[in-house]
């Protein structure tokens, strides 16, 4: 810290420059995500199972500074939807599993939900999708599974009655565990126990033009079998890959996506897109959670963002850019389960990055239990305090201009 300056103008400029210039990891992450977001195939999951998260208005500022254009919620929080009004950010909101059976048997409940959670916010807030239920299939709850498609249809009908069915898609998110087989990808097939529910689900997607959503986590495969699952293969790093007929897969996520395409084809559908509604890598875990490190998280998310920015498709669908929502925006301190569940965030609740990533330059993975990644020494600086003032500057200056001007002003003020 320099000596106090009596010139109030210089003081103000010095604070503006010095505060945001310090969290270099934060700015690197902003640039990285901002570059990827422009491709319109990147989104982020905004979970809120925590008691220390910032106000939604602060989150809106953070995401605008990152040029993030798509956000997925696990509910339809009115505070969040209001905070993002007139920002242009697209939202996918969610109907909780607890509502499915009521909506399936009472279409009026779906109409009421849409009237309360969608209609008041459109068009100021860009709600573009509704996820009805999360990982409903494959958990042995047959009553809920049987309610899934009727509930989705009820929500769709409620939107149609308001003239919104062409603007807001209706889908549901599924674990990759709905697949009985996923390797090789061409052998992809749905579990026999869920097939009776998947058939009408696929018919619904085909009729309405909505995508099939999967929550895909290569981390779980590596954690479960670190001796047999290649770390470079799950982290998008150089490796020999695996061959499936004439196709070569150099990462597990693409193989999982194509396994879903194969499973749908086996049921007679080649007209439905696949979107990854969740994927990510934890920066920390319990002692027995092999691979849960900041270094691996930086590699996974950084390399994934590079591929999204390239507009890359899977081996089976090379001309269809992958469509991914990364999990998650923040670490969530109240999530149950192993420590990894509370450490998927790109950011801490104070807005500082958990680790530094740069798309295309993520380093090699860490197969051990160390939680030390490529941290910046200033990464604990909050993005919601002085650093948030950088957002106002960036709205007025291009990124190139900002990069040129800041060092010059800093040098002048240091004189």
Which positions are annotated as active-site residues?
A: 135, 278
CA dist 333 and 344 (Å) reads 10
Report how far apart the first and last C-alpha atoms of the chain are (Å, whole number): 14
Long-range contacts, 161-165 (Cβ 8 Å, 24+): 161/111, 162/114, 162/118, 162/119, 164/114, 164/118, 164/119, 164/122, 165/208
Indicate the SS3 state at residue 152: helix
Which has the closest alpha carbon to 305: 90, 24, 44? 44
Residue 124: CB atoms within 10 A of its CB come to 13
Beta strands 189-190 and 179-181 are antiparallel
Instruction: Give how far Cα 315 sits from Cα of 249, 252, 328, Å.
Output: 7, 12, 26
Q: Using N-to-C axis directions, what is the helix angle for 56-65 and 389-396, rounded to 10°? A: 40
Q: Can you read off the two tokens belonging to residue 369?
A: 């239990």
- For residue 330, what is the DSSP state? B
Beta strands 169-175 and 212-215 are parallel
Beta strands 42-46 and 70-73 are parallel
Which has the closest alpha carbon to 357: 411, 304, 318, 290? 304
Indicate the SS3 state at residue 232: helix
């Amino acid at each position: 810290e320099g000596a106090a300056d009596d010139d109030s103008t210089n003081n103000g400029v010095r604070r503006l420059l010095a505060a945001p210039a310090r969290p270099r990891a934060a700015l690197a992450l902003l640039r990285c995500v901002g570059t990827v977001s422009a491709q319109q195939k990147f989104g982020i999951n905004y979970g809120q199972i925590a008691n220390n998260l910032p106000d939604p208005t602060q989150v809106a500022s953070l995401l605008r500074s990152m040029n993030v254009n798509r956000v997925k919620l696990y509910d339809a929080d009115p505070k969040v939807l209001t905070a993002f009004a007139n920002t242009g950010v697209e939202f996918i909101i969610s109907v909780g599993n607890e509502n499915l059976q009521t909506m399936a048997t009472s279409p009026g409940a779906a109409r009421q939900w849409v009237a309360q959670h969608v209609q008041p916010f459109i068009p100021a807030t860009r709600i573009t999708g509704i996820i009805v239920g999360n990982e409903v299939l494959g958990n042995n709850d047959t009553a809920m599974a049987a309610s899934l498609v009727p509930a989705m249809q009820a929500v769709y009908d409620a939107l149609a009655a308001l003239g919104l069915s062409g603007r807001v898609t209706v889908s549901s998110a599924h674990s990759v565990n709905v697949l009985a087989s996923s390797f090789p990808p061409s052998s992809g097939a749905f579990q026999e126990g869920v097939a009776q529910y998947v058939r009408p689900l696929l018919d619904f997607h085909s009729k309405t033009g909505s995508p099939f959503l999967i929550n895909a986590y290569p981390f779980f495969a590596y954690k479960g079998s670190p001796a047999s699952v290649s770390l470079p293969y799950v982290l998008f790093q150089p490796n020999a890959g695996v061959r499936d007929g004439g196709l070569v897969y150099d990462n597990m996520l693409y193989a999982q996506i194509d396994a879903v395409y194969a499973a749908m084809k086996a049921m007679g559908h080649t007209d439905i897109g696949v979107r990854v509604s969740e994927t990510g890598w934890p920066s920390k875990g319990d002692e027995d959670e092999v691979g849960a490190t900041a270094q691996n998280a930086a590699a996974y998310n950084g390399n994934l963002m590079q591929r999204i920015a390239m507009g890359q498709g899977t081996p089976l669908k090379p001309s269809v850019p992958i469509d991914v929502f990364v999990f998650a925006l923040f670490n969530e301190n109240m999530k149950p389960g192993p420590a990894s569940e509370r450490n998927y965030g790109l950011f801490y609740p104070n807005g500082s990055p958990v680790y530094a990533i740069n798309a295309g330059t993520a380093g090699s993975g860490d197969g051990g239990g160390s939680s030390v990644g490529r941290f910046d020494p200033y990464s604990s600086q909050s993005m919601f305090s002085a650093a948030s003032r950088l957002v106002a500057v960036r709205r007025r200056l291009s990124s190139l201009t900002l990069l040129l001007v800041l060092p010059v002003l800093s040098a002048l003020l240091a004189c």
